[in-house]
Structure 1
Amino acid sequence: MRPLKICMVTTFYPPANFGGDGIFVYRLTNALARYGHEVHVVHDVDAFHLLSNRPPQHNFPHPPNVVLHPLEYGKRGEIDLLMVHQLGRPLLKHAALQELLTGEQFDVIHFHNISLLGGPGILRYGDALKLCTLHECWFVCPMHVLWRFDREPCTRRTCLACTLHGRRPPQLWRYTGQRDRDIAQVDAFIGPSHFVEEIYHRHGFPAPIHYLPYFFPDVEAEAHGETAQETTPNDGRPYFIFVGRLEKIKGVQVLIEAFRHFQQADLLIAGAGAYEPELRAMAQGLPHVRFLGLLDHARLRALYRHAIATLIPSLCYETFGWPTLESFAVSTPVIVPDRGALPEIVRSGGGLVYTNTVELIEAMATLQRSPARRDTLGADGYASYRTHYSEESHLAQYHRLLGELGGFN
């Protein structure tokens, strides 16, 4: 395909980023740039500062043909975020976004998490071919993740009561039909899992959704190769690892409870978040449960590689689950709950699925007792990554979609 001028539009982008959606945008941006496209990224630094109690961390390099457009308005920006949340369209940043998305004459505008950058109204900006990836459930859930009353996955719609319970003001635009009018401006919505298409349509989303799973970049996979300088983590003691944000919905409390009864290996917890103080309190008296904080990619690579397995105990509906691919890339298996997209990812090999805490402990014991089973599952995960979740496979499907929709070749 000829080189294109592509714009990524996202609320969060590394290093001003929290979760997997921003990491995906970063990885896709760099992959497209390595292919030869000129890639621009528009993102909202004000949103990160409003929601974070820490400065941006770690270094995220880019090829020279990537152009960043961070929007940062200070206190005015914080006011704008509230207005976007309520009205579903850009206000104070309207002129800047209009100039960027229309004036730059992009071939493709690819929207991602736009919840605070412009709401659904930003989908009207620009005249390029428009894509939108559904990283979470924001279009069908004002709480973003279909986590009902902060205690259970959503099985029936009680949106207003759930919003008030979460101490958020109701979003006026969700009750006006604005969402459906704005999404009609998008040429294609993309879901990273089949589960996304299923859950969106179950909740009344009117547009078709194209399946295009996440990928793990070649350059990061190559860096995941073991080096002579790499030492075995955890002083050689066997361990399982959790990597992610320390929030209630991520389920680390389930792991801590399981490790009260499972002491044949350690639990290493890599990440930070608002729920961390409660989790640390729960882990008191469990010396084999350790909190590592935020770690750089090199440290995480070694931890993934030498773990018995990666544990992903999410209580909410994950739309994908980045630690699966990061584990598969180093031939480490995963153990996941039978919920959301996670079992879909391990269906072709690479892990075990559980439905309750007893089954979780049994799965951990199985892999701890049988290194051969662990290695077989790890090899299956690596094969699945190379077949289904490689950079080459993703770009081929991405370019095919651009060709079908926009006639690019």
Structure 2
Amino acid sequence: MNVLQIHNLYRFSGGEDAVVDNEMKLLTEYGLNVKQLHFDNKQINAGRLFFNKQAYSRTREAIREFQPHVVHAHNLFYQASPAVLKAAKDLGVPIVMTLHNFRLICPAALLLRDGQICTKCVNLKFPAHGVYHACFQDSVPKSLLLSTFLWYSKVQGIWKDSVDRFIVLTPFIKDLFIQSSLGVGGEKLIVKPNSTDDIYEDTEKVPPARQGFLYIGRLSREKGVHLLLEAFQGLPEKSLTIVGTGPLEQELRDLAGKNIHFRGEQPRSSVAELLRTTKALVFPSLCYEGLPNTIIESYAAGTPVIACDNENISKLVNHNYNGLLFSSGQVKSLIQAIEDYDMVPREDFEKCARRTYLEKYTHKINLENLLKIYNSVVN
């Protein structure tokens, strides 16, 4: 089987880019022929958001040359545009598309405004609230342009008529899109989680004692890391290691006590070692998120997760099984969860975290699910 991946790269490489490359690696190792067609936003032309003729031509050329059995689209904003879908349809190639975020129903893509979850535009064909609140890049003109595109694409049926199967990352996200203004039925929305490397070390040696707590991620307000810092200021006897960079880094460093340690960006090998030796990963995000790589990486290491209890994350972390939940955005609740976690034996939590990875997030399971989806549209 030949698979053509189409992906508009982000200006700063992130989780979605890694997922695309990971799936290419899995498919190639299995024996499939995979070609990647990349676009980027180095030169953004507003008109191309609706239909990029150059993207259409490049996609037609790639399809004629490679002869794919299926096109797998990922991010199409902004230079790829829906033109790549039309090119595939015009040449009779079925299309699978992964919805990594909420961009098709939210101008901000996060369903977050002013530090609070916001779903006001989910059921609106024209996301007017996104314009009023300048949700895209804090700009009313840019928000208006993007919102107009989202309205136009829904009215024209671009997504529901072009794409044969949508991949979503969690059952909650599937339900959200079914109830949205996108107009796509549940039969087209398939839940397929991502996967991650197995970083667990099963050795006869006595494992190192787990110490402290760990945060991995962008240092920005929507990730809730400022609340995490506040919580550990109230827990001076407990240690927190922070991995990552972002706009809040200097502010957080200025406020941090001696029990909070900043490690900046770290290579994957170092992150894996930190996950294997920490008591728990703390995940305080204020967003719904998708399927955070840090959570499934933590499970791969047999490390429990202390996470916010929003409607999506609470389905990924099972309270008192593979971690603990706290009230989203509430510092006192987070402090209580950390204190509670330190008062109970962790061995069962760690076994359950590891079991969660083996049952849901291995590369083998991901590959099997991906092949089922491809076969369902090819056949």
Report the TM range for the smaller structure's normalisation. Answer: 0.7 to 0.9
Show CA shifts across 1:247-293 (max 9, x none): 2211101100101101232111111223323333343xx12112211
Q: Is 1:262 aligned to residue 259 of structure 2?
A: no
**Aligned-partner SS, 1:304:** helix
**In 2: Cα distance, 1:326 partner to 1:342 partner:** 15
**In 2: Cα distance, 1:230 partner to 1:247 partner:** 37
Aligned to 2:372: 400
**In 1: Cα distance, 2:155 partner to 2:246 partner:** 31
- Range that drifts further, 292-301 or 335-344: 335-344
**In 2: Cα distance, 1:362 partner to 1:383 partner:** 26
Q: How does 1:309-348 map to 2 (within 5 A)?
A: 309-347=280-318
Aligned to 2:6: 9
List, as ranges, runs of 4+ consecutive aligned residues in structure 1 with deviation greater than 4 Å: 91-94, 177-180, 226-232
**Aligned-partner SS, 1:163:** coil
Specify every segment of 5 or more residues in structure 1 that has no aligned partner in the other structure, as ranges. 48-76
Aligned to 1:137: 102
- Range that drifts further, 179-188 or 125-134: 179-188
Residues 215 and 333 of structure 1: CA distance in aligned 2, closer, same or farther (over 3 Å): same
Q: Is 1:361 aligned to residue 335 of structure 2?
A: yes
Q: CA RMSD in A?
A: 2.6
How far has the Cα of 1:243 moved from its partner? 0.8
Q: How does 1:170-181 map to 2 (within 5 A)?
A: 170=144, 171=146, 172-177=148-153, 180-181=156-157
**In 2: Cα distance, 1:23 partner to 1:316 partner:** 20
Show CA shifts across 1:347-374 (max 9, x none): 383111111322211221222233x2x2
How far has the Cα of 1:79 moved from its partner? 3.4
Residues 229 and 383 of structure 1: CA distance in aligned 2, closer, same or farther (over 3 Å): closer
TM-score, normalised via structure 1 length: 0.80
Aligned to 1:111: 73
- Range that drifts further, 87-96 or 306-315: 87-96
Residues 256 and 406 of structure 1: CA distance in aligned 2, closer, same or farther (over 3 Å): same
TM-score, normalised via structure 2 length: 0.86
Aligned to 1:55: none
Which of 156, 159, 164 is 1:187 aligned to?
164
Which of 201, 204, 212 is 2:192 aligned to?
212
Aligned to 1:59: none
Q: Is 1:384 aligned to residue 356 of structure 2?
A: yes
Q: Is 1:271 aligned to residue 244 of structure 2?
A: yes
Q: Is 1:31 aligned to residue 26 of structure 2?
A: yes
Residues 88 and 178 of structure 1: CA distance in aligned 2, closer, same or farther (over 3 Å): farther
Q: Counterpart of 1:128 in structure 2: which amino acid?
A: V
Count how many residue pairs are aligned between Structure 1 and Structure 2. Answer: 357
**In 1: Cα distance, 2:374 partner to 2:93 partner:** 11
Residues 242 and 301 of structure 1: CA distance in aligned 2, closer, same or farther (over 3 Å): same
How far has the Cα of 1:237 moved from its partner? 8.7
**In 2: Cα distance, 1:30 partner to 1:20 partner:** 15
* Same amino acid, percent of matched pairs: 24
Q: Counterpart of 1:309 in structure 2: which amino acid?
A: A
Aligned to 1:288: 259
Q: Counterpart of 2:139 in structure 1: which amino acid?
A: R
How far has the Cα of 1:226 moved from its partner? 6.6
**In 2: Cα distance, 1:229 partner to 1:25 partner:** 36
Judge conservation of contact 2:177–2:184 (CA < 8 Å) in 1.
no
**Aligned-partner SS, 1:119:** coil
